[in-house]
């Protein structure tokens, strides 16, 4: 048993929300993921944030570039399978040094039940690094807030794409059959 198993209501999604709010993030693009569901809901309920539901993750990269051009801080929420969809669009961030904080829930690793998630999950850190993103990984709930806060500083003050990978172990086992 891990901390996240024994404590399924660990408040790390709410802690991420608090960090985004303190960092004055104003545009949050997302492609839904079960691991992000509480954070997405919190952002939708926050009046100061535009939440933008995307048809594909690469839209979120271009949206973020526009947000920054217009003077707002962007964040992008997705699962690891979406990282592959972003590869070419990340050229925009590198060519223009646009900042972006992206929070990525991992699939295809610890206790994954779906083999189709494994190839992209496995390639996620390399795909991000290949396109110039700085990549941090969190396995323990108590590390989430600090890591995301540091990543936000690095992104917005350093004109960089910074990705935080939220590990599958942190998120917990996906329940295939709803109880």
Partner 1 sequence: MSRANLLDRRAVAKALLEGRDDTLLVVTGLGSTTYDCFAAGDHDLNFYLWGAMGGAAVMGLGIALAQPDKKVLVITGDGEMLMGMGALATIALQKPDNLSVVIFDNGHYGETGMQQSHTGGGVDLVGVAKACGIGDTQEINTMEGVAKLKDRVRTGKGTLVARVSIAAEETPRALPTRDGVELKLRFRKALGL
Residues that bind partner 1 (CB under 8 A): 26-27, 50, 52-56, 58-59, 61-72, 74, 88-89, 91-92, 95-98
Q: Give the residue with the Cβ less far from partner 1, 28 or 138.
A: 28
Q: Give the residue with the Cβ less far from partner 1, 77 or 138.
A: 77
Look at residues 8, 11, 51, 49 and name the one whose alpha carbon lies nearest to residue 31. Answer: 51
Quote the least distance from Cβ 177 to partner 1, whole Å. Answer: 31
Quote the least distance from Cβ 164 to partner 1, whole Å. Answer: 21
Quote the least distance from Cβ 26 to partner 1, whole Å. Answer: 7
| Three-state secondary structure call for residue 108 | coil
Q: Give the residue with the Cβ less far from partner 1, 12 or 68.
A: 68
Which residue is associated with the tokens 């999950």?
121
Quote the least distance from Cβ 56 to partner 1, whole Å. Answer: 6
Look at residues 101, 103, 102, 104 and name the one whose alpha carbon lies nearest to residue 156. Answer: 101
CA dist 108 and 118 (Å) reads 4
Q: Give the residue with the Cβ less far from partner 1, 37 or 56.
A: 56
β partners of residue 145: none
Distances (CA, A) of 178 to 19, 108, 144, 148: 31, 20, 27, 30
């Amino acid at each position: 048993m891990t901390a996240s198993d024994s404590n399924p209501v660990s408040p790390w999604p709410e802690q991420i929300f608090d960090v985004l709010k303190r960092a004055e993030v104003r545009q949050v693009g997302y492609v839904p993921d079960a691991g992000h569901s509480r954070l997405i809901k919190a952002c939708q309920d926050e009046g100061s944030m535009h939440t933008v539901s995307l048809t594909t993750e690469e839209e979120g990269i271009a949206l973020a570039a526009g947000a920054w051009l217009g003077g707002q801080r962007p964040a992008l929420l997705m699962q690891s399978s979406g990282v592959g969809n972003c590869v070419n669009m990340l050229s925009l961030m590198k060519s223009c040094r646009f900042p972006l904080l992206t929070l990525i829930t991992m699939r295809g690793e610890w206790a994954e039940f779906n083999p189709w998630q494994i190839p992209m999950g496995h390639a996620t850190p390399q795909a991000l690094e290949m396109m110039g993103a700085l990549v941090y990984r969190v396995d323990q709930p108590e590390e989430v807030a600090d890591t995301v806060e540091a990543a936000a500083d690095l992104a917005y003050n350093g004109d960089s794409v910074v990705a935080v990978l939220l590990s599958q172990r942190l998120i917990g086992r996906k329940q295939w059959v709803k109880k």
